[in-house]
């Protein structure tokens, strides 16, 4: 691989023309000195997204988002600041250079090695496909054209145990790297062998189109039917969407994605002209995947298999998408069909018809009740009504809920004697169900529930918040950063938000990165944490050496006092002068007295 010139952040920013970068994602039109287009971050019909080439900045006057070229890539690709810098550098044919530590550089080199061995394996699998008649015949029977095979990089892993392993040895590739990439496995005898054998191979790419993993489909009866690469430093299932780099251009143009289940479904859909088709990695939709989709589309059509498992999976996916305010439709396929089989049997027009008939989640769920129960019998109508109550309760819009209640009212036994009464009765049942669910939430949470998220309102004393504010503003200041790093550390912060942000800034500074506040805030793990940090950074009390030292000392004493109170409570239950708790208590008392004497001297 040819070496590339390296560049720092300033060079990447200077050489990345924001109009050219944004134009790869948004159709821009010049208006005077600026360019305008439809905002990619929210649904709109009138352009309010503006790019200023002289300032190299962008802003949407509709949703309020704004920033520079790094901010745009971070948001549109849903990546960190560091990843955005690397993407922009690669676009320029450069290598992003940081003044990181040796371990940071080692991790980067390791990732690069894994990407290189993945690319080597992808070419190997493609070469093997040409040599073995059986996988070629299977692809022909499934109607996968040669150009489609090339577009998706489809290959074949031969049945022998060490074909790829031997090639990697011959290429002087460290097998430890190949094992970390998930391509080879070490046996009990200490020897390596191929992970994938006798399988059609589908490369899995990241958003930049780099091969980060593989999915292998068994040709015979081998189990599992699909075998994916394990998670690696370059591959996380929860953050990966299959074929996104091939689909995102049309997805952004139409603001719509087709969400399918499997690799072959996506391959067949693209070949038939549905080039906005994507798939998850065989798992339920994750928050990271939804965040990626929300940057690119405003509508998702779920097209899963027609069997019961596929229908249930489609319901779950649609429910999650609806909770994130993404317009979601479910397309029902004919019984016994999946997208791949439907396209092979009846062609693109059949899938197009299913898409045109796709229904919102609520309509799909209620219509599914009509398919399961006979509305021509009293028993069937009662079952439909009872089963519809949780569905109606899950509709966030009262207006939409009333519409479905009106549709269901004729099923109620009271409809024939008093047509206006059933709607009221159904509404009461929905309200009763909602009260029941609310009471369930107030009960003791079960162990199976998710741990509670960190709240912004931590009920901390104002003095603690002010002290954290002082140190967080100090570490962001070129003037005071060195002092803050000498006198404080992340563990001195009391709030989880303060701890995470302090450590984030410290690591970014050690790695030689620019301390770009929007990028740092966006790197926090939780929006509540970001809001808590933003609140602290809004305080405008002046900084000085004494104020910073006092703040650090205050927080450090706060932790000692908190620990003292905890140990006092424990000693009250079990007092023993020889206990570890008692010794720790005495040490803290001495430290606090020492701190007090030191403060009086000052």
Confidence of residue 568 (pLDDT cuts 50, 70, 90): low
Residue 180 in tokens: 């970390």
Q: Is residue 456 part of a domain?
A: no
CA-CA distance, 151 to 541, in Å (whole number)? 58
φ, ψ for residue 144 (rounded to 5)? -85, 110
Q: Is residue 448 part of a domain?
A: no
Identify the CATH number of the domain in which residue 213 sits: 3.90.980.10
Q: Are residues 521 and 597 in the same domain?
A: yes
Q: Is residue 157 part of a domain?
A: yes
Q: Are residues 161 and 206 in the same domain?
A: yes
User: For residue 429, is pLDDT > 70?
Assistant: yes
Residue 492 makes CB contacts below 8 A (sequence gap 6+) with 471, 502, 552, 555, 556, 559
Share of the chain above pLDDT 70, in %: 85
State the CB neighbour count (10 A cutoff) for residue 580: 9
pLDDT tens-digit map of 27-86: 888 988 889 988 888 777 788 899 988 778 898 888 888 888 888 988 887 777 888 888
- Tell me the pLDDT of the chain averaged across its residues: 83
Residue 124: which of 179, 165, 161 has the closest Cα? Answer: 165
What pLDDT shows up at residue 106?
61
Q: Are residues 524 and 592 in the same domain?
A: yes
Given a contact cutoff of 8 angstroms between Cβ atoms, the answer to whether 129 and 155 are in contact is yes
CA-CA distance, 23 to 27, in Å (whole number)? 6
Q: Is residue 445 part of a domain?
A: no
Domain endpoint, select from 235, 260, 275? 235
What mean pLDDT comes out for the span 437-457? 49
What pLDDT shows up at residue 167?
96
Identify the CATH number of the domain in which residue 50 sits: 3.90.580.10
User: For residue 453, is pLDDT > 50?
Assistant: no
Using alpha carbons, list the distances in angstroms from residue 265 to 154, 279, 349: 14, 9, 16
Given a contact cutoff of 8 angstroms between Cβ atoms, the answer to whether 477 and 505 are in contact is no
Q: Are residues 210 and 332 in the same domain?
A: no
What pLDDT shows up at residue 54?
73
Residue 71: which of 475, 111, 60 has the closest Cα? Answer: 60
CA-CA distance, 56 to 313, in Å (whole number)? 44
What pLDDT shows up at residue 581?
52
Residue 107 makes CB contacts below 8 A (sequence gap 6+) with 233
Confidence of residue 192 (pLDDT cuts 50, 70, 90): very high
Residue 161 in tokens: 């145990």
- The segment with the largest mean pLDDT, out of 233-237, 518-522, 573-577, is 233-237
Please give the residue that has the higher pLDDT: either 528 or 70: 70
Structural domain total, the chain:
5
Dihedral angle, C-alpha 281, 286, 291, 296, nearest 10 °: 40
Q: Are residues 158 and 178 in the same domain?
A: yes
Confidence of residue 597 (pLDDT cuts 50, 70, 90): very low
CA-CA distance, 322 to 299, in Å (whole number)? 10
Q: Is residue 586 part of a domain?
A: yes
Rg of the chain on CA atoms, in Å: 30
CA-CA distance, 279 to 237, in Å (whole number)? 11
What pLDDT shows up at residue 326?
85
User: For residue 3, is pLDDT > 50?
Assistant: no
Burial of 268 (0-12, 13-18, 19+ CB in 10 A): buried
Residue 332 makes CB contacts below 8 A (sequence gap 6+) with 306, 311, 354, 357, 358, 359, 364
Residue 250 in tokens: 């049309």
Dmax (CA) of the chain: 90
Domain endpoint, select from 181, 206, 235? 235
Confidence of residue 457 (pLDDT cuts 50, 70, 90): very low
What mean pLDDT comes out for the span 323-342? 89
What pLDDT shows up at residue 520?
77
What pLDDT shows up at residue 588?
52
Confidence of residue 566 (pLDDT cuts 50, 70, 90): low
Q: Are residues 231 and 244 in the same domain?
A: no
Confidence of residue 456 (pLDDT cuts 50, 70, 90): very low
Q: Are residues 189 and 271 in the same domain?
A: no
What mean pLDDT comes out for the span 463-478? 90
Confidence of residue 448 (pLDDT cuts 50, 70, 90): very low
Please give the residue that has the higher pLDDT: either 296 or 527: 296
Q: Are residues 473 and 497 in the same domain?
A: yes
CA-CA distance, 451 to 453, in Å (whole number)? 6
Confidence of residue 487 (pLDDT cuts 50, 70, 90): very high
Confidence of residue 275 (pLDDT cuts 50, 70, 90): very high
Please give the residue that has the higher pLDDT: either 37 or 281: 37
> Hey, which residues does 235 pair with through a beta bridge?
232
The domain of 501 spans: 462-601
pTM: 0.62
Q: H-helix or E-strand containing 31?
A: strand 29-31
State the CB neighbour count (10 A cutoff) for residue 431: 11
b or e along 144-161 (b: 16 or more beta carbons within 10 Å of the residue's beta carbon)? beeebbeebbbbbbbeee
Q: Is residue 450 part of a domain?
A: no
Q: Is residue 452 part of a domain?
A: no
H helical segments located in 373-409: 378-393, 398-408
Residue 484 makes CB contacts below 8 A (sequence gap 6+) with 471, 474, 475, 548, 552
Residue 276 in tokens: 């906005």
Q: H-helix or E-strand containing 36?
A: strand 34-37
- The segment with the largest mean pLDDT, out of 41-50, 153-162, 593-602, is 153-162
Q: Are residues 134 and 193 in the same domain?
A: yes
Q: Are residues 468 and 551 in the same domain?
A: yes
Q: H-helix or E-strand containing 59?
A: strand 57-60
Question: Helix (H, G, I), strand (E, B), or coil: what is residue 203?
Answer: strand
Q: Is residue 455 part of a domain?
A: no
Burial of 529 (0-12, 13-18, 19+ CB in 10 A): buried
What pLDDT shows up at residue 567?
58
Q: Are residues 466 and 590 in the same domain?
A: yes
**Length of the chain counted residue by residue:** 602
Q: Are residues 186 and 243 in the same domain?
A: no
pLDDT tens-digit map of 84-124: 888 888 888 777 766 554 445 566 678 889 999 999 999 99
Long-range contacts of 214-220 (CB under 8 A, 24+ apart): 214/118, 214/121, 214/122, 214/125, 214/182, 214/183, 215/242, 215/263, 216/157, 217/263, 217/264, 219/134, 219/135, 219/138
Residue 354: which of 330, 380, 322, 390 has the closest Cα? Answer: 330
CA-CA distance, 503 to 398, in Å (whole number)? 45
Domain endpoint, select from 96, 127, 153? 96
Identify the CATH number of the domain in which residue 540 sits: 1.10.860.10
Burial of 119 (0-12, 13-18, 19+ CB in 10 A): middle
User: For residue 576, is pLDDT > 60?
Assistant: no
User: Concatenated DSSP letters for 334-375?
Assistant: PTT--HHHHHHHH-HHHHHHHHHT-EEHHHHHHHHHHHHS-T
């Amino acid at each position: 691989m040819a070496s590339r010139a390296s560049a720092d952040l300033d060079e990447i920013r200077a050489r990345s023309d924001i109009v050219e970068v944004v134009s790869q994602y948004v159709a821009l039109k010049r208006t005077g000195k600026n360019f305008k287009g439809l905002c990619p971050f929210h649904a709109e019909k009138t352009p309010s997204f503006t790019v200023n080439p002289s300032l190299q900045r962008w802003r949407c006057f509709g949703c309020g988002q704004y920033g520079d070229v790094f901010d745009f890539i971070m948001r549109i690709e849903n990546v960190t600041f560091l990843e955005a810098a690397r993407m922009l550098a690669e676009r320029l044919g450069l290598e992003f250079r940081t003044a990181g530590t040796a371990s940071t550089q080692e991790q980067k080199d390791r990732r690069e090695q894994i990407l290189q061995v993945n690319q080597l394996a992808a070419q190997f699998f493609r070469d093997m496909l040409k040599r073995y008649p059986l996988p070629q015949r299977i692809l022909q029977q499934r109607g996968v054209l040669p150009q489609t095979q090339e577009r998706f990089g489809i290959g074949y892993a031969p049945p022998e145990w060490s074909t790829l392993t031997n090639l990697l040895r011959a290429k002087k590739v460290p097998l430890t790297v190949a094992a970390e990439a998930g391509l080879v496995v070490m046996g009990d005898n200490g020897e390596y062998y191929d992970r994938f054998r006798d399988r059609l191979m589908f490369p899995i790419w990241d958003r930049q189109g780099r091969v980060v993993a593989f999915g292998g489909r068994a040709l015979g009866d081998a189990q599992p039917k699909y075998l994916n690469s394990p998670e690696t430093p370059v591959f996380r299932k929860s953050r990966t969407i299959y074929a996104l780099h091939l689909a995102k251009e049309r997805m952004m143009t139409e603001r719509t994605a087709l969400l399918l289940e499997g690799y072959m479904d996506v391959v067949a859909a693209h070949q038939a002209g549905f080039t906005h088709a994507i798939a998850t990695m065989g798992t339920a939709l994750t928050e990271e995947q939804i965040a990626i989709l929300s940057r690119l589309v405003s509508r998702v059509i779920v097209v899963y298999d027609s069997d019961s498992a596929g229908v249930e999976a489609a319901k779950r996916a649609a429910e999650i998408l609806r909770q994130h305010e993404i317009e979601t439709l479910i397309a029902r396929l004919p019984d016994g069909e999946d997208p791949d089989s439907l396209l092979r049997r009846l062609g693109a027009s059949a899938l197009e018809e299913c898409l045109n008939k796709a229904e919102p989640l609520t309509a799909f769920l209620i219509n599914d009740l009509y398919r399961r129960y006979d509305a021509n019998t009293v028993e069937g109508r009662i079952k439909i009504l009872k089963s519809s109550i949780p569905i109606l309760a899950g509709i966030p819009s009262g207006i939409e809920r009333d519409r479905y209640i009106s549709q269901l009212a004729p099923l109620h036994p009271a409809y024939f004697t008093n047509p206006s009464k059933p709607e009221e009765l159904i509404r009461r049942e929905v309200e009763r169900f909602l009260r029941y669910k609310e009471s369930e939430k107030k009960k003791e949470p079960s162990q199976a529930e998710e741990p509670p998220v960190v709240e912004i309102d931590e009920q901390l004393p104002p003095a603690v918040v002010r002290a954290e504010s002082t140190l967080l503003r100090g570490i962001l200041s070129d003037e005071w950063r060195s002092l803050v790093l000498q006198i404080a550390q992340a563990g001195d912060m009391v709030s989880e938000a303060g701890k995470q942000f302090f450590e984030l800034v410290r690591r970014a500074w050690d790695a030689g990165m620019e301390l770009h506040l929007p990028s740092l805030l966006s790197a926090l793990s939780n929006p509540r944490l970001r809001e808590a940090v933003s609140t602290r950074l809004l305080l405008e009390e002046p900084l000085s050496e004494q104020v910073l030292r006092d703040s650090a000392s205050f927080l450090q004493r706060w932790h000692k006092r908190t620990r003292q109170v905890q140990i006092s409570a424990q000693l009250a239950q079990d007092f023993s002068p020889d206990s570890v708790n008692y010794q720790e208590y005495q040490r803290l008392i001495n430290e606090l007295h020492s701190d007090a004497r030191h403060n009086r001297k000052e």
